[in-house]
Structures are given as structure tokens and as C-alpha cells.
Amino acid sequence: MIIDLRSDTVTKPTLGMLEAMMQAKVGDDVYKEDPTVNALEERLANMFGKPSAMFFPTGTMANQTAIKLHTNPGDQVICDKDAHIYHYEGGGASFNSGVSCKLIQGDRGMFTAEQVLEAINPPDFYHSPLTTLVEVENTANRGGGSCWDFEELKKIRTVCDTNNLGFHLDGARLWNALVAKNETAKDYGQLFDTISVCLSKGLGCPIGSVLIGDEKIMQNAMRIRKIFGGGMRQVGYLAAAGIYALDNHIDRLAEDHKKAKEIGQVLSDLSFIKKVETIETNIVIFELLERTDEAKFLKSLEDKNIRLSGMGQGKLRIVTHLDYTDEMHDRFLSTLRILEL
Ligand SMILES: *Cc1c(COP(=O)(O)O)cnc(C)c1O
């Protein structure tokens, strides 16, 4: 038994999901003729109360498309210093859209409307890049799966409106936030111009993300996805996994959150651990004491078939997910409790 807690992307499709995939009706999506892709897109557009949605192979491509739709080369995007679009998309914002990022020193991946106001370059001061987009991430990945305060997001929307800025949500793990905070997709649909969501994280699909947005901005999404190499054919088999996950795998995220909190409690009692960050969803970030040997810690877990990931700067990450069973959870907690370093 391998207990893989490196990420919620390590899950494999369940039997039910595989069956749904096998049954899918498909067609050529480049001609918009795949009925299952069309159904998935329509389902998500309705869920968020938006007119338009588009299926993407990855969250990165969906975010990169959104950035391209909102900006012109030379523009500046406001985001947190820990944002996925800045850290983990290969420099794509500058490569694909020719934009720079103005990084906000946020708290656990989140910031305030005031900080956004301060980060906007005056539009008539032509020496500075033109600010055109604000991007937020919910849950914030490097923020430890933290959830935004919806009231703060509303204030940022107002700042965007008064300053003529686009507002994009990287909602790779928005599902976790909706479950943890008892919010609805429609709340978010009302607030943002564009939203990307992942089906391949907590929802357990092998692949797939969707970009949801307003009619006007999404008009060009098809062209941008094509340019980025993301035109797909009979991908209804993959969209079927997405529909199955929306039906079956959202509510159960609460179990992942509960397990993450229980792991956090055990970790905070261990003598060699300095700090466990606040746990709101399925991500646990913790720090070892300086005297603790990180490589030795990881090795002693690896010897027991338990995998976590290092984030650098002495921080480690655990992510709970669909394939992390109750049995694995008991085994992991009891292993931690008796771990000698
Ligand atoms: C995983 C993730 C993405 C998208 O990643 P892909 O691996 O390209 O699907 C985007 N944003 C955040 C915060 C993520 O965690």
C-alpha cells in the first residue's frame, strides 16, 4: 500500500467514472460536435450563471487563455506573490501574453482591496506598464489551501470596476472553498469576468479544466485555445469523467478536509515540528524545526511507503484526496505518532 499525499492530482479514475467514460457519446469537438463536451460546458456555465464555458486539457492552459483574453502585450497583471500563474505556469504569462506581474505581498496567498488599489499603475503615466487584470486564486495553493473572504473579493470587484480592470479567478480548487465555506458557484460567477476550474484535482478526473466567462470575453477563447495547441477531438470520453465528478465528487471533499485537519492535529503534537499552518481545506503545510533533518524525515516516511512533497525553505506539504482511504489515514497517523528521528 502506497500512501501518496504529494498532491490531489495523483488520483485514478474510479470504476464508476470509468464506466461513465465508456458510455460517453462523442464527436469532433473542434467542430463543436462532441455532445458530452457540450453538455459539460453547458452544465458549468449554468452552475456559475455565466453564458459561456470551454473545456481545456489543463488548468494552466485555461489560466493562460484567460490572461491572453484580458490583456495586451506590455500590460501588467496584479496577483499574489504566491500565485500559481506566477510560480507554476512556466513563465507563461510573459511568454504567451507578453505581460508582467505586479506581485502583492499577501497573507497565505490572499490580499486586500486596498493592496490592489496601491498596486494599480496610474493609466495616464505612460512610463509604467498599463494595469489591466487582477487575478486571485481560491483556494490559494501555496497559501495552504486557504479560502478567501467573500466580502473582500466583493471589494476587489469594486476596485476593478472603478479602474476598468478585468477580474480572473484561478479556481483550480474552488470546489474545496465552496464546500468548506458553504458558498455557491453562482456567488463566484456574479463576481468574476472569467473563472478557471480544475476537474483533475480534488474531483478526481484524469484530466480536464474548464474556463467559464462572459459572452464578449469568451468570443475569442476558441481562437486562443487553438493557438495554444489545445483544440481537441473526441474528448467527450474525458468530459464524461468531468460530469461524473460534478455529480459524485463535490460533497465528499468535506472528508478530505476532515482528514487534513486530523493530520494537522497529530503533526502539531510532534516534537520535531516547528509549525503547522492553518488548515481550511485539503492542504497541510508545515515546517520542521531547524535541527530536524528534512531528507531524513522524508526518507523515514518513504521507507514506510508514505509520500509527501517538499516546497523548499524548510516547508513540507500534504494534500488529502479521493484515493486517500480511511485505512491509509489510520496507518499514516499511527506512523507519525511513533516516528523517531
Ligand atoms: C493545479 C493548479 C492549476 C492548473 O494546473 P494544471 O496542472 O495545468 O491543470 C492552476 N492553478 C492552481 C492554483 C493549481 O493548483
Instruction: Give the number of other CB atoms < 10 A from CB of residue 314.
Output: 15
d(CA 146, CA 278): 8
Give the N- to C-terminal CA distance of the chain in Å, as an integer.
23
d(CA 281, CA 287): 18
Helix (H) or strand (E) holding 151: helix 150-162
* CA-closest residue to ligand 1 atom 12: 172
* CA-closest residue to ligand 1 atom 6: 59
d(CA 38, CA 203): 19
Atom of ligand 1 nearest to the CA of 201: 1
Regarding the beta carbon of 209 and ligand 1, being less than 6 Å apart is answered yes
Give, for ligand 1, the residue of 89, 198, 283 to mutate: max count of ligand atoms closer than 8 Å to Cβ: 198
Give, for ligand 1, the residue of 110, 147, 201 to mutate: max count of ligand atoms closer than 8 Å to Cβ: 201
pLDDT at 287: 97
pLDDT at 313: 81
Regarding the beta carbon of 239 and ligand 1, being less than 6 Å apart is answered no
Task: Label residue 340 by pLDDT band (50, 70, 90).
Answer: confident
* CA 197 to ligand 1 center in whole angstroms: 9
Question: If you average pLDDT over residues 167-182, what whole number do you get?
Answer: 98
d(CA 37, CA 241): 10
Cα–Cα distance list, 112 to 31, 116, 134, 154, 303 (Å): 43, 7, 12, 10, 43
* CA 319 to ligand 1 center in whole angstroms: 14
Question: If you average pLDDT over residues 219-228, what whole number do you get?
Answer: 97
User: pLDDT by residue (tens digit) across 189-199?
Assistant: 999 999 999 99
The three three-digit cell numbers of residue 191, written as one number: 463576481
Question: Is residue 334 over pLDDT 90?
Answer: yes
Q: Is 158 left (phi over 0), alpha (psi -120 to 50) or beta?
A: alpha
Question: If you average pLDDT over residues 167-194, what whole number do you get?
Answer: 98
Regarding the beta carbon of 58 and ligand 1, being less than 6 Å apart is answered yes
Q: Nearest Cα to 220, choosing from 242, 194, 201, 243?
A: 194
Whole-number average pLDDT of the chain: 97
Task: Label residue 312 by pLDDT band (50, 70, 90).
Answer: confident
* CA-closest residue to ligand 1 atom 14: 172
Question: Is residue 157 over pLDDT 90?
Answer: yes
Regarding the beta carbon of 26 and ligand 1, being less than 6 Å apart is answered no
* CA-closest residue to ligand 1 atom 4: 59
* Whether pTM exceeds 0.75: yes
* CA 60 to ligand 1 center in whole angstroms: 6
* CA 59 to ligand 1 center in whole angstroms: 5
pLDDT at 99: 98
User: pLDDT by residue (tens digit) across 49-100?
Assistant: 999 999 999 999 999 999 999 999 999 999 999 999 999 999 999 999 999 9
Question: Is residue 314 over pLDDT 90?
Answer: no
Question: Is residue 256 over pLDDT 90?
Answer: yes
